[in-house]
Amino acid sequence: MKVKFFRHQLILVGLSLLISSFFINAAEYQLPDENSRLIGKLQRHLVKKGDYFQEIAEQYNVGFLALLAANPGVDPFLPAVGVSVLIPSQMLLPYIKREGIVINLPELRLYYFLPDENKVMVFPVGIGREGLETPRTTSYIGKKRENPVWRPTEETRARYFAEHGKEMAREVAAGPDNPFGKYALRLGFSEYLIHGTNQRFGIGMRASSGCIRMYDEDIKWLFDNVPEKTPVHIIDQEVKMSYEANNLRLIEIHQGLTQQGVAQKETVIPDAVKSFVGGSEKNWPLLMPYFEQPKGVVVAIKKKAKI
């Protein structure tokens, strides 16, 4: 029988969810083959009395803003008991070589591709706030320090004086007042570090002075397992896409990074995304809500022929 295709219809469907209530101890994922970029499974957390987003984020080892974006309309401080909270623990690998450490700034995640193993570790991170942006760069892990001493830069001390009217200490020893936490990994010979923190609320947010912040448990894992000279790539990919089997196309959209003093750009669908989606131009506007309010979760885009 001869089949005529009159038009293509774009269908946006969420991927199936893995519902789970167990505690996530390690963000370790099996790598897919080279033709796929999808890792992990979405999960749901049923809110019980006393739950709040920061606690839930730490339990599942995801970022605070990632949890917030995936659950619009849910109060992050007093979520209603019984509400099902979506955990963004499924993602597409960034479009980059699978080696070393990759930090994708818009999604506030750090990927570490284990050498000689078909696995990747994924951790939430805090990055530089507006005006003190974390730089996009290619570097490597330089010196690793346990119980690092914090010596704020002259710029940091001047900024502190302007904001508080008093001098900042030139040196802070290891301990509860040290913003570097217990471990630090320097990027090459630069002043930028991947380090722990004494303020857990800043993980998964734009809250630092440019360095990469991690939970103490996560930075300890990196400190113990990542050797010096490991390559580090800090990238800016707010849209990730992947062609999968059975004509399935996956897209993951994150909020773009704003810069201090730069006006917010008008929301437009990039040409690369239009080409990826394909089909009729009439279908492209269906993607606009995903760009206007990015949820940072993987969405399946499937072209379906109508007979």
Active-site residue list: 195, 211
Q: How many residues does the chain have?
A: 307
Residue in this structure with the two tokens 């930028």, named with its chain if needed = 192
Within 10 angstroms of residue 77's Cβ, the number of other Cβ atoms is: 7
For residues 82 and 47, the answer to whether their CB atoms sit within 8 Å is yes
Return the structure tokens found at 161. Answer: 């004086």
Within 10 angstroms of residue 8's Cβ, the number of other Cβ atoms is: 16
Q: Got the DSSP string for 131-149?
A: TSPPPPEEEEEEEEEESPP
Return the structure tokens found at 71. Answer: 């659950």
Which are the contacts of 224, defined by CB distance < 8 A and separation ≥ 6?
none
Return the structure tokens found at 137. Answer: 């760069």
**Structural element, H or E, at residue 225:** helix 216-225
Within 10 angstroms of residue 196's Cβ, the number of other Cβ atoms is: 25
For residues 269 and 288, the answer to whether their CB atoms sit within 8 Å is yes
Residue 216, classified by CB atoms within 10 Å of its CB into exposed (0-12), middle (13-18) or buried (19+), is middle
Residue in this structure with the two tokens 């913003």, named with its chain if needed = 179
Within 10 angstroms of residue 301's Cβ, the number of other Cβ atoms is: 23
For residues 69 and 85, the answer to whether their CB atoms sit within 8 Å is no
Residue 16, classified by CB atoms within 10 Å of its CB into exposed (0-12), middle (13-18) or buried (19+), is exposed
The number of angstroms, rounded, from the C-alpha of 11 to the middle of its chain's C-alpha atoms is 26
